[in-house]
Amino acid sequence: MDEYGHTLYVSDYTNEKWLKHVDDQGRPYYYSADGSRSEWELPKYNHSPPQPSGDAPKTRSLDRRNVEPIVLTKWRHSAYVQDPADKDAPLGLKPPSPDSDSCPSSPKPPASPSEKCGVLNVTKITENGKKVRKNWTSSWTVLQGSTLLFAKGQGGGTSWFGGGQSKPEFTVDLKGGSVDWASKDKSSKKHVIELKTRQGTDLLIQSENDSIANEWFKALQDTISNHASESDDPIEADMPESPGAEKHDKEKDRRDSKKVKAMKPSTSMDSSEHKKTRSKLKKLLTGRPTLQTVKDKGYIKDQVFGCALSSLCQRENTTVPNFVKMCIDNVENNGLSVDGLYRVSGNLAVIQKLRFAVNHDEKVNLSDGKWEDIHVTTGALKMFFRELPEPLFTYNLFHDFVSAIKISDHKHRVQSIKELVRQLPKPNHDTMQALFKHLRKVIDYGEENRMTTQSVAIVFGPTLLRPETETWNMAVHMVYQNQIVELILLEYESIFGR
């Protein structure tokens, strides 16, 4: 028996160890314990337990190779992806073809055990050079060679990551990357590691345990250092991150090579010219400026949607973003009496067009016929606040706001909320004041637009407040989010002054 309770067979002929399995059509077959071969029928075998590795004789195997004694590996640490329909067979190994008595012509042996694994909090802050909304999740993290793999939940079980998950959620290539401790402006959490990859994806990795975070930092640093020379080769640097993409890329390369051959003249290029071309290409790729360098020179401008509020206000030399003021003015001038204001969704395609125009510095007049639907304006304003990297109520004060709203005494509760609002950065405070002043006007027209204080709070609660890390009690948080917004709307004068 192996560690998972499977019957272990030992061949008299080769002394190899085999495990029995059934394919999806119910036909039994055998696969070697090292994952390198599969057979429809087992050579002579007995049910006796395998001899210790030191006593096993070296014999001529069926494919005429001398096979060293084999030690069973834990399949869940293999880097190959298991077929979901084949739960007990080793990862990456299929049964032999029906018309053959032998294993596939080029089977893959199991990979070496993972170098490091464990549960970490992880979030992407940029992907392919573009900023993305920071959203912390708990991930089962595995460092395998120069690749870092992430999957939701802890590992273990029959599949590589455990449970029913046979593929990582996403992977990153560490070749040519860099690792450092994250600054406080990147995250208010402790023990946060900032990982930058050559492909333009930046991650934050965090553990509440100081020693675990230090161990991961050293492991990532050593891995990047050990693979530094490999990243200089542009061909290696562009290898696909996901193991599952390997087959697709090989087929694509085959098709591309056929096209190139068809286009080539009869006389082939001299080898020295090949070397010169390769050298120039390598120099071009390695000499590319970074995204930050291009931004610093002004070739690429930061966008409005998805930009940090402080950065946007600093760029516009204001404390309330111009787009927010433009949306508020348009609603107050043209739409306060519209039924379902902020509750009814606008046409998403038109909202995305407006978002694109604002991001690319196009002159936008919301009174134009193109944007005449007031629900497009309200939808775009809500999208702006949803896509902020950090919400209007900052992450570091989220739990303080939740604690304040739980206070039973009303005066004490209002005073606590007021003190927390004053602690917000200037752009957050002033933008919040402008928004809530506008929402008070929306509520004043409640008889016409049917928007009450409670309904406005339900719309804006999850948009303006959210915790940095997703947890199981999100429904409970949503109740507090709505109550916080509702209290500020009701006590606007007490909190912001007249």
**pLDDT tens digits, residue range 239-289?**
444 444 455 556 666 666 655 555 555 445 567 788 888 888 887 877 777
Rounded Cα–Cα distance for residues 83 and 21 (Å): 14
Q: In sequence order, which residues have a C-beta less than 8 Å from that of residue 22 and are 6 or more positions away?
A: 28, 29
Whether 476 is in a domain gets the answer yes
Please tell me whether residues 219 and 326 are part of one structural domain.
Answer: no
pLDDT, averaged across the chain: 75
Q: How far is CA 458 from CA 14, 80, 286, 453, 465, in A?
A: 71, 46, 51, 9, 11
Q: What is the CATH number of the domain that holds 201?
A: 2.30.29.30
Rounded Cα–Cα distance for residues 214 and 203 (Å): 16
Residue 491 pLDDT class (50, 70, 90 cuts): very high
Please tell me whether residues 100 and 122 are part of one structural domain.
Answer: no
User: How many domains would you assign to the chain?
Assistant: 3
Three-class SS string for 115-183? CEEEEEEEEEEEECCEECCCCEEEEEEEEECCEEEEEEECCCCCCCCCCCCCCCCEEEECCCCEEEECC
Give the residue numbers spanning the domain of 35.
1-111
- Give the sheet arrangement for strand 45-46, strand by strand: 38-39, 28-32, 17-22, 8-11, 45-46
Helices (H) and strands (E) in the chain, counts: 16, 13
Whether 68 is in a domain gets the answer yes
Please tell me whether residues 60 and 205 are part of one structural domain.
Answer: no
Instruction: Give which of 173, 158, 162, 157 is closest to 139, Cα–Cα.
Output: 162
* Domain final position from 111, 143, 166: 111
Predicted local distance difference test score (pLDDT) of residue 494:
92
Whether 121 is in a domain gets the answer yes
Rounded Cα–Cα distance for residues 120 and 212 (Å): 9
Whether 461 is in a domain gets the answer yes
Rounded Cα–Cα distance for residues 432 and 494 (Å): 14
* Domain final position from 111, 135, 157: 111
Q: What is the CATH number of the domain that holds 344?
A: 1.10.555.10
Please tell me whether residues 400 and 483 are part of one structural domain.
Answer: yes
| Highest-confidence segment of 58-67, 216-225, 282-291, 420-429 | 420-429
* Domain final position from 66, 86, 111: 111
Whether 378 is in a domain gets the answer yes
Please tell me whether residues 120 and 107 are part of one structural domain.
Answer: no
